Amino acid sequence: MLPAILDFLAAIGLPARAACLDAPTFLPGIRITGGELLFDPARLRWPCDLLHEAAHIALVPAARRCALDDALGEVEQDAAAGEVEAIAWSWAAIVHLGLDPSALFHPDGYRGQSAALMLTYSLGVFPGAAGLARIGLTATGEEARDLGVAPYPHMLRWLRK
């Protein structure tokens, strides 16, 4: 799974780089520094957490990505780059990669809400998809039909301009 995730991230322009991360990290073995996604192969517990953190980077306007770090405080203030949009982006990524939803919504994630999120998305209810559509990364409902494209979770682009 990790090689597929790393190949995907590199292909969309968000490569993750292996590094020794000795200091504590928000998620096991993952850090964002200067807009770069770093991971410690020895400490990475859940590979799909890389997708979620990559989503936070992808959803920030390109000009601001290089300023991102683990705090992500500025990201949460962007109406289309919050936690719900990062979850929607991550879901689209696992669908694209053909990964099991439980790899994204693992027992240690999402502050105890993993099972509820997995059920929600599995039932076709997609919180955050509207935010992704607002910034042109996907299309939903009538907009997708009008454009003649597959609706979310299909992505038109993976990175915000």
Q: So where are the chain's domains? A: 2-147
Predicted confidence (pLDDT) per residue in 142-156, tens digit: 999 999 999 999 999
Residue 18 confidence (pLDDT) = 97
The secondary structure of the chain in percent helix, strand, coil, rounded to multiples of 5, reads 45, 10, 45
- Which residues share a beta bridge with 27? 30
Q: Please name the amino acid found at residue 74.
A: E
Judged against a pLDDT cut of 70, whether residue 77 lies above it is answered with: no
- d(Cα 50, Cα 47) in Å, to the nearest integer? 6
**pTM attached to this predicted model:** 0.93
Alpha-carbon Rg for the chain in angstroms: 15
Judged against a pLDDT cut of 90, whether residue 101 lies above it is answered with: yes
Judged against a pLDDT cut of 80, whether residue 106 lies above it is answered with: yes
Q: Which residue has the tokens 């020895």?
A: 42
Mean pLDDT score across all residues of the chain: 92
Phi-psi region at 72: left, alpha or beta (left = phi > 0; alpha = psi -120 to 50): left
Judged against a pLDDT cut of 70, whether residue 72 lies above it is answered with: no
Q: In 10 A of CB 149, how many CB atoms?
A: 14
The percentage of the chain sitting over the pLDDT mark of 70, rounded to a whole number, equals 94
Judged against a pLDDT cut of 80, whether residue 81 lies above it is answered with: no
The mean pLDDT of 68-86, rounded to a whole number, is 74
Predicted confidence (pLDDT) per residue in 23-32, tens digit: 888 888 999 9
